[in-house]
Amino acid sequence: MSTVIRPLFGQAAYRSWVYAGIGAAMSLPPMALALVVASPKWPTALRTVGFCVALCAVLVAMGAPRAARRGCIRLANGLAATGLSEPPEAPAPAWTDRLRTSAYLGAHMAVGGAVTAVACLAVFAALILPTFWLSGGGPVASFGWTVPVEPGWPGLWTVAAAAGCLALAGYAAVGGAAVLRLLAPLLLGPRAAERLAAAEQQLDLLAQRNRLAQELHDSIGHTLTASTIQAAVAAELMDSDPHAARRALNSIEETSRTAMDDLDHVLGVLREGQSPTTPQRTLAHLGPLTERVRGAGAQVHVETAGDLTRIPAVVSREAYRIVQEGLTNAMRHSDMAGITLRVAVRDGWLEVELVNPLAATVPFRPGRERGHGLTGISERVRLLRGEVSSGPTDEHGTHWRLAARIPLRSAP
C-alpha cells in the first residue's frame, strides 16, 4: 500500500504539479492568440484549420529564440529530473533544433493542460460527492452524467471515491511528468553534431587546464628554488654582511610577489574562464627574470640577437616559460656560476640555448626534480612544432646544455 501512496507525497510529485501547471499556463497565450486569428465568422472547417495553423505558427515562434531550448532544458532538469546536458554554444541554433524545441513546448503545454483539467475534475468530484452524502444524499448531475448518492451507510462509498479522485489527480501529475521525461531526450537532447562539439569543447578545456598547470608548475617551482637559495644566503650573511642579507630578503619578497601574480592569473582563468588583470609574461620580461636569478646569487650571462619584440605572442610566451624552467634547473643543479643564456632570432626561427656547469657537490638527480621540468619544456616546444634537446655537453658531464628551436611562421 505504501508503494502505491508514496509517489503522491514526495518532492517529485510536487515538482510534477508545478511542471504541469507551468505547461498549462504557457498554453494560455498561444491558445488565446490562435482563437483571435480564427474568426468566429469563418466556417467551422476553415476556423478549425485557421486555429491549428495559428497555434503551430506561435509554437514555432516560441521555440525559435536561442534561449528557448536552454530554458526548456533547465526547466525539465529542475522539475522533471530529465538530466539533460546544456547545449553547446553555437553561432546560431539549427532549424532542426528550433523545431524540436517547438514540438517539446507543444507537448509540454498539451500534457500540462490535460493534467490540469484531470486534476481539477478529480478535485471537484472529491469535494462534491462527500458533500452531497453529508447533506442527506441526492442525485449528482454533471457533464450529462447522473450519480445517485444515498444517505446513511449506503452512501459511505463517496468517501472512498473522493480518495480515489485525489489519487487520480496526483497520478495524473506524476504520469504527465513521466511522459515529458520520455520526450525530453528525443526533442531536447543533443544531436550527434552537438555531442561532437561538446567533446571538442571538453578536450579544449582539458588542454587549457593542462597548460595552466604547467605554467603554474614552472612559476612556483622557479620561485621556490630561488627563494630557498636566497634564504640560505641570507642566513649565512645575517651576521657578517647584514646589508647583503637584507638584499636577499628583499629579493625573496619580490620573487614571491611575482609568483602570487602568476597564481592569481591561473586561478582567475580556472574560476572565471578569463584572466582578471595580470598579463602573461613574454620574452619582453626576460630582464626582470634574469635579475631575480642574479638576486639569488647566480652568475648569468645573457646574449640576445635579433628583434625579440617581433616574435609572435604565443611563441614569446612559451619561450619565456622555457627560459624560466631552464634557469630553475640551472640553479638547482649547479653552483650558480657560469650560467650562459642565449636567445636569438635567425632565419625565421627562435633559438634558445642555456648552458650551465654541473657542480660536483650538487649531484644531478634524474627523478621528479628534473623530469617534470624537462617534460614540460618538450611538450611546449613540440606543440609549437619546434625542436628541443638537453643533456651533458661532453662525456665528463661537467656542463649541461638545453637548446630549443621554435619556428616563427608555423606556430599555431
Alpha-carbon span 336 to 394, nearest angstrom: 19
- The one-letter amino acid code at 213 reads A
290 with 148, same domain? no
**What are the C-alpha distances in Å from 372 to residues 185, 368, 376?**
44, 6, 6
183 with 239, same domain? no
180 with 237, same domain? no
In a domain, residue 12? The reply is yes
109 with 221, same domain? no
In a domain, residue 348? The reply is yes
**Closest Cα to residue 357, out of 340, 373, 374?**
340
pTM: 0.51
Q: Are 63 and 99 in contact (CB under 8 A)?
A: yes
| Distant-in-sequence, close-in-space partners of 10: CB < 8 Å, separation ≥ 6 | none
Alpha-carbon span 299 to 113, nearest angstrom: 81
105 with 212, same domain? no
Domain that holds residue 329: 197-407
C-alpha cell at 90: 553555437
pLDDT of residue 360: 60
179 with 222, same domain? no
208 with 167, same domain? no
* Exposed/middle/buried for residue 404 (C-beta within 10 Å: 0-12, 13-18, 19+): buried
* pLDDT values of the chain reduced to their tens digit, one per residue, 412 residues: 455 566 566 778 888 889 999 999 999 999 999 888 887 888 888 888 988 999 999 999 998 888 888 899 999 998 888 888 877 665 556 788 889 999 999 999 999 999 999 999 999 888 888 888 888 888 887 767 788 888 888 888 899 999 899 888 888 988 999 999 999 998 988 877 777 766 776 777 676 666 666 666 666 766 677 777 777 777 877 878 887 777 777 777 666 766 666 666 566 656 555 544 445 788 888 888 888 888 777 888 999 998 888 888 778 888 888 898 888 888 877 777 788 999 999 888 999 999 988 866 544 444 334 445 677 788 778 878 889 998 888 777 788 889 999 998 754 4
158 with 10, same domain? yes
- The total number of structural domains in the chain stands at 2
What φ, ψ does residue 390 adopt, rounded to 5°? Answer: -155, 150
Q: Tell me which of 190, 212, 247 is where a domain ends.
A: 190
In a domain, residue 343? The reply is yes
154 with 219, same domain? no
9 with 157, same domain? yes
326 with 180, same domain? no
**What are the C-alpha distances in Å from 47 to residues 55, 59, 321?**
12, 18, 73
186 with 210, same domain? no
